[in-house]
Chains A and B, each alone.
Chain A
Amino acid sequence: MNRLLLVPLLFIGINAFAEVAVVVHPSNASVLNAEEISKLYLGRSKSFPDGKAAIPLALGDSSGATAIFNEKVLNKTGSQIKAYWSKLVFTGKGTPPKELATDQEVIDLVSQNPSVIGYVDKSAVNASVKVVATF
Chain B
Amino acid sequence: MNKLNRITLMLLPIAILSAPTALAVDYSYSGFMTVGLGRVINGSVSGQNEVGLDCPCMISDYSQASVYGPAWDIKPDSKLGLQGSVLFSDDLMLTGQVVSRGSRDFDVNLEWVYLSYQVNDSNTVQLGRKRLPLFYYSEQQDVGFTYPWVHLPGQTYGWEAVNYNGMNWSHNLQLGEWSGNVNVFGGSETRKDSDYLKLYNGLDSESDTKWSGIFGAEIVLSKDWFEGRLMVMQSDTQGRVVSQGQDWSEKTMQQIYGASALVDYNDFLFTTELFYSDRTESYGRDLAYTLSAGKRFDGLVVLLTHGMYQQKIYRDNPAELTEDSREKHRNTSIVVKFDVSASSDFKIQLERWQDYSGSWFKQNYGDASTLSMAYNLVF
- Main SS at interface, chain B: strand
* Residues of chain A within 8 A of B342, CB atoms compared: 61, 77-79, 81-82
Is A44's CB within 8 Å of the partner chain B?
Answer: yes
Chain B residues 152-203 with CB under 8 Å of chain A are: 170, 172, 174, 177, 179, 181
Q: What is the interface size of chain B, counting residues whose CB is below 8 A from a CB of the partner? A: 34
* Residues of chain A within 8 A of B30, CB atoms compared: 89-90
Contact among B28, B146, B345 for A90, CB-based, below 8 A: B146
Chain A residues in the interface with B (C-beta under 8 A) = 35, 39, 44-47, 53, 61, 77-79, 81-83, 86-87, 89-93, 95
Is B97's CB within 8 Å of the partner chain A?
Answer: yes
- For B30, B112, B116, the residue with the greatest tally of chain A CB atoms inside 10 Å of its CB is B30
B131 pairs with A93, CB closer than 8 A: no
A91 to B185, CA, bound (A): 14
B345 pairs with A86, CB closer than 8 A: no
A36 to B52, CA, bound (A): 56
A82 pairs with B343, CB closer than 8 A: yes
Chain B residues in the interface with A (C-beta under 8 A) = 28, 30, 32, 81, 83, 95, 97, 112, 114, 116, 121-122, 126, 130-131, 139-140, 142-143, 145-146, 170, 172, 174, 177, 179, 181, 222, 339, 341-343, 345, 378
B343 pairs with A90, CB closer than 8 A: no
* Residues of chain B within 8 A of A46, CB atoms compared: 121-122, 172
A135 to chain B, nearest CB (A): 18
Which partner residue on chain A sits nearest B31 by CB separation? A90
A83 to B345, CA, bound (A): 10
A86 pairs with B179, CB closer than 8 A: no
Which partner residue on chain A sits nearest B170 by CB separation? A93
B114 pairs with A92, CB closer than 8 A: yes
Q: Which 10 A-B pairs have the closest CB atoms?
A: A78-B342, A91-B139, A44-B179, A79-B339, A46-B121, A87-B146, A86-B378, A61-B342, A82-B343, A90-B143
B179 pairs with A92, CB closer than 8 A: no
Contact among A47, A61, A83, A89 for B121, CB-based, below 8 A: A47
Assuming the contacts A45-B179, A82-B342, A82-B343, asked whether A91 and B131 have C-beta atoms less than 8 A apart, the reply is yes
Besides A35-B177, A39-B179, 13 other A-B contacts (C-beta < 8 A): A45-B174, A78-B342, A79-B339, A79-B342, A81-B342, A86-B146, A87-B143, A90-B30, A90-B139, A91-B131, A91-B139, A93-B139, A93-B170
Assuming the contacts A53-B121, A90-B32, A90-B97, asked whether A83 and B170 have C-beta atoms less than 8 A apart, the reply is no
Which partner residue on chain B sits nearest A70 by CB separation? B342
A82 to B340, CA, bound (A): 12
Contact sample, A vs B, 16 pairs, CB 8 Å cutoff: A35-B177, A46-B122, A78-B342, A79-B345, A81-B342, A82-B343, A82-B378, A87-B143, A90-B30, A90-B32, A91-B139, A92-B95, A92-B139, A93-B170, A93-B181, A95-B28
Which partner residue on chain B sits nearest A83 by CB separation? B146
Contact among A35, A90, A92 for B116, CB-based, below 8 A: A92
A53 to B130, CA, bound (A): 29
A46 to B170, CA, bound (A): 15
- For A35, A61, A77, A93, the residue with the greatest tally of chain B CB atoms inside 10 Å of its CB is A93
B139 pairs with A86, CB closer than 8 A: no
B339 pairs with A89, CB closer than 8 A: no
Which partner residue on chain A sits nearest B116 by CB separation? A92
A93 to B85, CA, bound (A): 13
